[in-house]
Amino acid sequence: MLLTEKVLLSQKEGKVSTELINVILGKTYSFLVNVKRGDPDLIGDFILYFHDKIPNMVLRFIDRGILFENYLYTTINYRFRTFQKEEKNRLRDNEIGMVAEQEVAYNTDFKKEPALQYSQLPSQWEINDKGCLTNHLLKKRLLILLVKNAYFIKDYHIKGYALLLGQTEKELFDFIEPVRKELTDEYNEQPFFPRRNKVLIKLKQLEAEKEDDNAKQIKKLMAKLDSINQRIKDYSPTPSHRRIAEVIGLPKGSVDSSLFYLRKEIEKSFPDDQNSLFC
């Protein structure tokens, strides 16, 4: 039976079954992942938000000779775009609030970009009057480290690092962005996210039923959800040393040795904060 026929049957019965809701959620997830290429975390939040909207959407559907899937994808496209904007505004407001609460002392050269401070650099690194590293070997090593951490580097960090490396923002962005895109695609394709969304939907259904018999099942699902979330948290998307060498145009051996010596230098200068260059 076609999805449109199932929808029309549900309208006649005046209720929307859980099975139909799950089918629609599956199509929603596939559309957002394969067509919209959305962020997995954002898709998960949207699925939870969209779950409650489905029954009304099914009952409101009018058969005018078009498939329900077309109506569904048009609705998802609009709602997801709106959801993205609202989420972006919420995150921006949170970041503004966090920055306003922090009292950070930083060098005047970086007043517009407090994400990078001279105090975060190893003391033996010499900086000229233009805020640029004087040692060319250190510049190469830092560029390699930035490409390795491309997934975690934010756009607003790039200006400070470009100044430090004596490059333009565009030059540095061209090094980092292709790798960041590859790592983002790889991260989005991980199987964690479909499994987590499936668990969240099941939890929501069980909690809505409010039956005592569901308590054990909810407990098991919560433990499974914690395990999946921990795997997501522990997953660290980084490019291979061979890929870094291709991007920068260096032998793989140079990348290996540069990262080794740079890591040792940072560990020595910041024993309690290994991520000082990226905070």
Beta bridge partners of 127: 133
Rounded to an integer, what distance in angstroms lies between the CA atom of residue 214 and that of residue 207? 8
Any residues with CB less than 8 A from the CB of 204 and at least 6 apart, and which?
Answer: 48, 51
- pLDDT, residue 259, reads 84
110 — pLDDT class (breaks 50, 70, 90):
very low
Residues of the chain with pLDDT > 70, as a percent, come to 83
What pLDDT, on the 0 to 100 scale, is given for residue 103? 34
Is the alpha carbon torsion for 245, 251, 257, 261 positive or negative?
Answer: negative
Contact in structure between 206 and 221 (CB atoms under 8 Å): yes
In this model, does residue 113 exceed pLDDT 80?
no
pLDDT band, residue 265 (cuts 50/70/90): confident
For residue 260, give the H/E element and its range.
helix 252-269
Find, among 153, 142, 176, the residue nearest to 261 by Cα. 142
- Calculate mean pLDDT across residues 7-23: 88
| Residue 142: how many other CB atoms lie within 10 Å | 20
pLDDT per position as a tens digit, 190-235? 888 888 888 888 888 887 777 777 788 888 888 888 888 888 877 7
Residue 121: pLDDT band (50, 70, 90) is low
Let me know if 56 is exposed, middle or buried by CB neighbors in 10 A (0-12, 13-18, 19+). Answer: exposed
**Helix or strand run (H / E) with residue 140:** helix 136-148
**pTM score, two decimals?**
0.52
Extract long-range pairs of 92-101: CB within 8 Å, 24+ residues apart: none
Contact yes or no for 141/258 (Cβ under 8 A):
yes
Residues 6+ away with beta carbon under 8 Å from 216: none
- Residue 114 has φ and ψ, to the nearest 5°, of -65, -5
Q: Own/partner pairs for 163-168, CB < 8 Å, 24+ apart?
A: 163/109, 163/130, 163/131, 163/132, 164/116, 164/121, 164/127, 164/131, 164/132, 164/133, 165/132, 165/133, 165/139, 166/130, 166/132, 166/133, 166/139
pLDDT at 106 over 50: no
* Range name among 32-41, 45-54, 165-174, 220-229 with the lowest pLDDT average: 32-41
Which tokens sit at 52? 């409650």
Which pLDDT belongs to residue 151?
Answer: 81
Q: Which residue has the higher pLDDT, 65 or 105?
A: 65
Tokens of 176: 């980092």
Assigned token pair, 235? 């997953």
CB 76 within 8 A of CB 11: no
**Residue 101 pLDDT:** 38
